[in-house]
Amino acid sequence: MTPETQLPTTTFSRWIDPFLQRLGNGLSWIWVALIFVIVLNVILRYVFSEGRIELEEIQWHLYSTGFMFGLSYAFQADAHIRVDVLHERFSPELKAWIDLYGIVLFVLPFTALMLIYGFPFVMDSYQTNEVSQSPGGLELRWLIKLVLVLGFSFLALAAFARLTRLWSFLFFHAR
């Protein structure tokens, strides 16, 4: 949707959209932390010849967390990637229909599958007290696996909030 065709808000979207905006804005600092850890690791490795596996694992934990939570923020802000060459030529109604079907047929089923299979994945890791296989690696592997479940949960919330807004635009909003 373009700024001139903003979707109407719904009760659910007025609750979840600000939450996801705050989450995205707050977690944007994770990228600063990631850069700091990368620079520290490079300095330790190439200046002091001291490689640290913990720093490497923290890097991918930070990146994974930023990416997974960033998905819901990008979806909520309508900043995700699409084929704009075609999309910009469509009417607001056609854009809304495409978004609605995309959410119902692709986003919600995919997030449902990720959650259905993600919970046992996290629980197994927690119950077995899984740790990194690397010597000196991080413990509590279930925490990073939990990020997958939380990230897809937030994405499902963002998709459902957008779905309610699209539904309102298509069926209840005077155009």
Q: What percent of the chain has pLDDT over 70?
A: 94
Average pLDDT over residues 64-71: 93
CA distance linking residue 8 with residue 17, whole number of Å = 12
Over 70: is that where the pLDDT of 83 sits? no
**Full-model pTM:** 0.86
For the chain, what are the domain ranges?
8-171
Give the pLDDT confidence score for residue 172 in this predicted structure: 86
Predicted confidence (pLDDT) per residue in 21-46, tens digit: 999 999 989 999 999 999 999 999 89
Q: Which residues contact 146 (CB under 8 A, 6 or more apart)?
A: 122
Helix (H, G, I), strand (E, B) or coil at 130: coil
Cα–Cα distances in Å, from 157 out to 18, 32, 84? 12, 26, 24
Cα–Cα distances in Å, from 41 out to 47, 91, 141, 165? 10, 50, 21, 45
CA distance linking residue 76 with residue 107, whole number of Å = 13
Helix (H, G, I), strand (E, B) or coil at 7: coil
Torsions phi, psi for 105 (to 5 deg): -90, -25
Over 90: is that where the pLDDT of 131 sits? no
* Amino acid letter, 53: I
Average pLDDT of the chain, as a whole number? 88
Q: What is the CA radius of gyration of the chain?
A: 20
Over 70: is that where the pLDDT of 170 sits? yes
Predicted confidence (pLDDT) per residue in 112-123, tens digit: 999 999 999 999
Under DSSP, the state recorded for 4 is: G
